[in-house]
Structure 1
Amino acid sequence: MSRRNRVRSAPPVALALVGAVALAGCGIEPTGVVESGRAANVPVTAPRSADVLYFVAPDGRLAPSLLRDPRVSTGVLLGRLLSGPGTQERDSGLGTELPARTDRAAGPVRVEYRTAKQVTVRLPHVLDAELSDTAKDQLVCTAAVSVDASAKAEVVLVTGDGPMSPRRCPLAR
Structure 2
Amino acid sequence: MRTRLPLPLACLLVPVLLMVATGCGISTTAPEKAGAPASGIQRPGTTADHARLYFVGPYGLRATTRPTDRPLGPQQALDLLLEGPTDAERERGLISEVPPMNGRLTATATADTVDIYLPVNIKELQVAAVSQLACTAAHSDVSGDEPPTAVDIRFHENLGHSPTPWTVRCDADGNVHPRTDT
- The two structures have a TM-score, normalised by structure 2, of 0.57
Structure 1, gaps ≥5 residues long: 1-20, 25-46
Percent of paired sites with the same residue: 30
Structure 2, gaps ≥5 residues long: 1-19, 24-46, 175-182
The answer to whether the 8 A contact 1:58-1:95 is kept is no
The answer to whether the 8 A contact 2:105-2:116 is kept is no
1:171 Cα deviation after fit: 2.6
1:98 Cα deviation after fit: 0.9
After TM superposition, the structure 1 = structure 2 runs for residues 1-173 of structure 1, keeping only pairs within 5 Å, are 49-59=49-59, 61-70=60-69, 71-100=71-100, 106-113=103-110, 116-123=111-118, 125=119, 130-146=124-140, 147=142, 150-152=147-149, 153-160=151-158, 162=162, 163-171=164-172
Partners in 2 of 1:136 and 1:145 — Cα distance? 14
The answer to whether the 8 A contact 2:108-2:116 is kept is yes
Partners in 1 of 2:123 and 2:113 — Cα distance? 24
| Aligned amino acid, residue 137 of structure 2 | A
1:145 Cα deviation after fit: 1.0
Partners in 2 of 1:169 and 1:93 — Cα distance? 22
The answer to whether the 8 A contact 2:55-2:61 is kept is yes
Query: Could you say what the CA RMSD is over the residues aligned between the two structures, in angstroms?
Result: 3.1
**Larger proportion of helix:** 1
Q: How many residue pairs get matched?
A: 125
The answer to whether the 8 A contact 2:52-2:64 is kept is yes
The answer to whether the 8 A contact 2:112-2:146 is kept is no
- The two structures have a TM-score, normalised by structure 1, of 0.59
Q: List structure 1 segments (4+ residues) > 4 angstroms apart after TM superposition.
A: 126-129
The answer to whether the 8 A contact 2:48-2:67 is kept is no
